[in-house]
Amino acid sequence: MGRIGFLGPSGTFTEEAASLVGEDLIAFDSILDVLNAVQNDEVEVGVVPIENSIEGPVGVTLDLLVHEYDLKINREIIIPISHNLLINSDVNMGDVKFVYSHMQALSHCRKFTEEMRVIVNSTPSTSAAAEMVKGKKNAGSIGTKRAAEIYGLKIAASDIQDYKNNVTRFVVIAKNDHEQTGKDKTSIVFSIMEDKPGGLYEILGVFADKDINLTKIESRPSKEKLGSYIFFVDFEGHRTDEQIEYILNIIRSKVGYIKVLGSYPAEGED
């Protein structure tokens, strides 16, 4: 594997996901910058978050893949999210009056920070928060063990997230998707030609008729007009499977727009 771009900075969960792909990691400031780097061959692949089990989809990733880039999902990576309270080595938890972190991490740990009776402040990333509190006597951050190592902080409390089944799904973005493995999934996005009763059911019924399991379905505004939506669907199978090709051809005849975001190995499958 060549150079791997990821949503930085170092010390974030995205870096942890990217490290499972390879070792030559390059941090970028935004998801847009990561996809640009893949498009312009600055990196071979990019790693970005696409979905969290608590907060739901990462809208900017979905929107860019649909509207701005002709890139593909080549792999998915699912990792558990364990948040930690990070403070300086000479600070006690009772001294902490302010807690900094990324907005999503703060949301994940709302009960913990409320019990601490601290003032929370949003930062661009969990790693940026760790850097910000370094040397401060009355502040802590919520972040990863890696961030604690990078910035010389100690872990005052572990697994402080409100929900213990918190996982984030990351995707590896490349110019091509993955070849068949026999245990694959495919992601597509489509819009319905006209708003009519049963329009979505008609599309999803194609999968049911062929006994194809849907693993995710969600909608997002199409950005064209109020009340107009596009639908994201993940399902078992590879786009080159004969049956999946047949299904996709049927759907193409029934929708106003369809885009295959990629076929790739299902995470957790051998």
Residues 4 and 47: beta-carbon distance below 8 Å: yes
Residue 102 DSSP code? E
The crossing angle, in degrees rounded to 10, of helices 242-252 and 199-209 is 160
Burial of 145 (0-12, 13-18, 19+ CB in 10 A): middle
**How far is residue 169 CA from its own chain's centroid?**
5
Give just the sign of the alpha carbon dihedral 256, 261, 267, 270: positive
In terms of DSSP H, where are the helices of 134-262?
A: 145-151, 199-209, 242-252
Q: Is 231 a catalytic residue?
A: no
Provide the 3-class DSSP secondary structure of residue 36: helix
Catalytic residue among 6, 28, 112, 170: 170
Distance CA 270, CA 267 (A): 8
In terms of DSSP H, where are the helices of the chain?
A: 13-19, 31-39, 59-67, 103-108, 110-116, 126-133, 145-151, 199-209, 242-252
- The label of the residue with tokens 């989809």 reads 57
Other C-beta atoms lying within 10 Å of the C-beta of residue 203: 19
Distance CA 21, CA 203 (A): 35
Catalytic residue among 144, 168, 186, 190: 168
Q: Is 232 a catalytic residue?
A: no
Burial of 165 (0-12, 13-18, 19+ CB in 10 A): exposed
Instruction: Tell me the catalytic residues.
Output: 168, 170
